């Protein structure tokens, strides 16, 4: 159930959707430099793809995010070059893996953005959250 316009059934990024809706209602979101958070994932290549498929689904269904806050524009390209410089300076043999991961993220995201055109069972396999996909009866 959705309470006061806040997300109840989003595949991924419910915190992002909630923050966006709060900002649009006039609330503020603060950056606290002193905050300490340990947040790490050790995703496989498949999981990277699935995660970005789900992000694409989120963006395709929650039009508010892109309409009100814009697209990443050239940030993806800047990130790739930044990542390659970082990896190249520390462990050059990891560059092919970084490129593959980036390609999988891009492909997953693009497929997620057109999920309405993908068969139900295929979406379940592409997603990191297969239980999200309930067959419409």
Q: What is the 3-state secondary structure (H, E, C) of the chain?
A: CCCCCCCCCCCCCHHHHHHHHHHHCCCCCCCCCCCCCCCCCCCCHHHHHHHHHHHHHHHHHCHHHHHHHCCCCCHHHHHHHHHHHHHHHHCHHHHHHHHHHHHHHHHHHHHHHCHHHCCHHHHHHHCCCHHHCCCCC
Residue 54 lies in a domain: yes
Residue 19 lies in a domain: no
pLDDT above 80: residue 74: no
Residue 104 lies in a domain: yes
pLDDT above 70: residue 5: no
Residue 80 lies in a domain: yes
pLDDT band per the 50, 70, 90 thresholds, residue 4: low
Residue 10 lies in a domain: no
Residue 84 lies in a domain: yes
Residue 110 lies in a domain: yes
Count: domains in the chain: 1
What confidence tens digit (pLDDT) does each residue in 36-52 have?
Answer: 888 788 899 999 999 99
pLDDT at 1: 40
For the chain, give the mean pLDDT: 86
pLDDT at 8: 55
Provide the domain limits for residue 106. 43-132
Residue 27 lies in a domain: no
């Amino acid at each position: 159930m959705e309470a006061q316009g806040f997300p109840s059934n989003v595949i991924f990024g419910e915190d992002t959707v909630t923050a966006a809706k709060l900002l649009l209602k006039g609330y503020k979101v603060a950056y606290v430099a002193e905050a300490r958070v340990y947040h790490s994932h050790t995703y496989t290549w498949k999981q990277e793809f699935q995660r970005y498929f789900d992000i694409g689904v989120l963006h395709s269904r929650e039009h508010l995010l892109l309409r009100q806050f814009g697209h990443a524009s050239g940030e993806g390209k800047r990130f790739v070059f930044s990542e390659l410089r970082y990896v190249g300076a520390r462990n050059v043999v990891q560059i092919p893996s970084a490129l593959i991961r980036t390609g999988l993220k891009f492909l997953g995201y693009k497929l997620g953005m057109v999920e309405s055109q993908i068969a139900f069972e295929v979406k379940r396999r592409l997603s990191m959250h297969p239980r999200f996909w309930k067959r419409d009866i």
